Amino acid sequence: MLKQCKLCGEPASVRVPYARLSLCPKHFTEYVERHVRNTIKRYKLIKSGDRVVLAISGGKDSLALLHILNNLRGEVGFELSALNIDLGIRKDDYSLKAVQISEKYCRELGVELAKVDMKRDFGFTIDEVFSSNHVRRPICSSCGVIKRYVTNKVAVELGANSLATGHNLDDESAVLLSNYVKADIDLLVRSGPMLPSRGERMVSRIKPLYETSEKETTLYNFFKGIQHLEQKCPYASGASTLRLKEVVNALEEEWVGSKIALVRSFNKKIKPILAEHYSKNSKDIDLCEACGYPTSTKICSFCRLKKSVSKNC
């Protein structure tokens, strides 16, 4: 049974188990905001004078983060704009709805929105990747390549130095567990709340929701009245990350606070040791011979993917 709000004595609506707090809606949303502010501070994600572009998908995490960063920009002193990609997923009007909901919320907050249309700007869509006979990657992996490439490119073109994404604690702890299983040192070293730029034409990537759970952003939007796209991506059903999230949530249920402990202790203690070792062995970053953007191979994954899709046309 929920008790009174720990902070004001009003009836509590939410229990935050790992913080041992019962909170009313007002103090819960303030708690989430403070939590994100602390994550930014703990990992030094944003500093005064930064130009931050936030990639928004229209989903719960990126819109919650848009609201929170928009309120923080005055206090911390950074510039904020948003970026949305129309991926061209037609089933259930998925991309159409995602674009509309992103545009609407940016208008409401008065945040500038850069709009990318995959078909118009890059000549192909996720639907075309999916139906291509020449792409061997799983669709979610191709989509990852596209999003990482396009968000970086647009952020560079906008003159930003930092690209924020809505990856949350559930995403990050599940991916960390998966990387532990695979012991992919490269992926481990490149994971975490901040991936600094490694050279020209590459912005830093930051994840201000690194220690904020999916449940928290969902409730945050509910209490704040932020409308996000409830629909899941039609291609994502049964994706392995979704199932791994269930495993880390089973861990959290057995051991309250373990999701945060897992990612925090990785970043504090294990990653620095792996990174020190890795820096001796890491590949240099070059510029792609086709597009001129950073890659560790001759032609970057995005250009190779684009070429594979074009074979079908």
Q: Name the site residues for a second copy (rule: CB under 8 A).
A: 177, 180-183, 185, 240, 243-244, 246-247, 250-251, 254-255, 258, 261-262, 265-266, 268-270, 273-274, 276-277
Residue 121: CB minimum distance to a second copy, A:
36
Nearer to a second copy, 240 or 310 (CB): 240
In terms of C-beta density within 10 A (0-12 exposed, 13-18 middle, 19 or more buried), how is residue 211 classed?
Answer: buried
How far is it, in rounded angstroms, from Cα 308 to Cα 266?
Answer: 37
Nearer to a second copy, 2 or 270 (CB): 270
Q: Give the residue among 237, 190, 213 at the shortest CA–CA distance from 39.
A: 213
Residue 140: CB minimum distance to a second copy, A:
15
Residue 131: CB minimum distance to a second copy, A:
28
Residue 208: CB minimum distance to a second copy, A:
22
Nearer to a second copy, 1 or 269 (CB): 269
Residue 216: CB minimum distance to a second copy, A:
20
Residue 269: CB minimum distance to a second copy, A:
4
Nearer to a second copy, 62 or 191 (CB): 191
CA torsion angle 223 226 231 235 (round to 10): -110
Query: For residues 165 and 55, is the Cβ–Cβ distance under 8 A?
Result: yes
Nearer to a second copy, 265 or 297 (CB): 265
Nearer to a second copy, 8 or 247 (CB): 247
Nearer to a second copy, 2 or 247 (CB): 247
Residue 18: CB minimum distance to a second copy, A:
13
